Structure 1
């Protein structure tokens, strides 16, 4: 973006414009097209485009930010609010979190980043060949300590973090399409950009989560209940458990989720989860409508029920079960990612 801006200066063109953002985005995507799907690209360009659009709008309409002495503070408030709103849906979609006190944290830290940290970093780079960067880096360190302190303090406040479930595939594209239309279109028709945005949020609110999740090793099962997802064990497969709970928008720990696991929960789905080779070998009875998930391959596979074990999961990957009016719908990880050369057949 800085390179595009410098070229615009040399060409005597407007520096901060949506065209500059578009050119910078095209350059990045030509070099690394996969960046489009990454949160870094999406967050950076969403914030930049929104900031340029808002401040250009204020300038074109000759809207004053107040007395000269107050303008820097007002600009920080506006930029923090705009960037926060523009990036909030993307951050929530990728990380399942919303920072409720982000504006306050930005107001307390962004001025130091621009006034002290960045200038001191540049100055330290210039002085480093002469071995004189020490005092400059010390000043920079004090400012960074303040910024980190603000982050730790605000994140520790009650209600600082909100959790949201993962959206469906169409949600972010719809929101982005509507926002881009509203930013780029000239005239009153830009209000139509609100329609895809509202539709995207409506789809997000109605995104279904799997009723049952089965880890690809068979070592963990999660069943959705009215109180949240119940996990079959309090420890082990922690990374999988964390991802399941985050994608549900559930701030609970694995221990708390395991406390919801009960006989009534498993009975409602006719699910039995057995851990260890001994439990798999001793299991020999089940009804046709039962689901039995094992963490080890059983000796006898001729059972009337649906038996899920590491050997079957090696071919399918993790499983998600949805209860529909036509019965239980099963979606495997392979259904989502497709078959790769390195997948077991």
Structure 2
């Protein structure tokens, strides 16, 4: 019971303790949302082929913006103004990474991503930026495969990073051949989004299955990039990655408002070597608490040999228990 209570405390941070409502949904949009491309025609096009540079923040954000725009019609039945679109979690998370300096070159060998150099650049040396690449590209290509974006699979290509090009995929065909399971899950999600009979819970299950499959297929590829960060930030990266599996099990609603509440409880900057959870002076109480609980969840998870996750997943298969878990999280908050 102590372990389960600790897990619920950690998950509570993902909902966050903020009750004030923002008057305008546009205030919740990620940084530079307005400046990011909103249609494929905003990108470079030649002979009917659109070329996108996903190593520039606004161009990667534009891919999310296109997904949000093209799927808006399917989420109107859940809430007005596209607020209930469960794809919002992806761009809002990407915006947090950019705002907190988690896309910049952690080796300091280049000015990529830093305000003093090229702030729109996403470093290929960055753990956050590399994992986010696949949580951007695979959903986008999944939407292409599902026919949501109304272009053929050979009409979109991506530019490679300046190094380690073989670690990435750049087209629907290459991403499907390299990451077949994750691609199938993203394509299935977009096919299901178009089905009017599907509930929000149904769609959340498809979304989280695809999200977890993507991290499962890619996180080990970039494990060494965590060495470029402080031990505190590296621990947080691992904790964050592990927590996704638990958040997925409770089918957290990645709507615009929910995701923004979650973001407020996350570290607002890169962690320094002398940052100790519960004692970081420029963090809010919530941010300190959530960081502490996420690190605790990591220790419980690793200490159990990952059996704790299996137990939790089995429990969360029951809708009643998922509701109880969410209610408990709200009560803890």
Fold equivalence (TM over 0.5): no
Q: Which has the larger radius of gyration?
A: 1
User: What TM-score results when the alignment is normalised by the length of structure 1?
Assistant: 0.26
User: What TM-score results when the alignment is normalised by the length of structure 2?
Assistant: 0.26
Higher-RCO chain (CA-CA 8 Å, sequence separation at least 6): 2
- The structure with the greater share of residues assigned to strand is 1
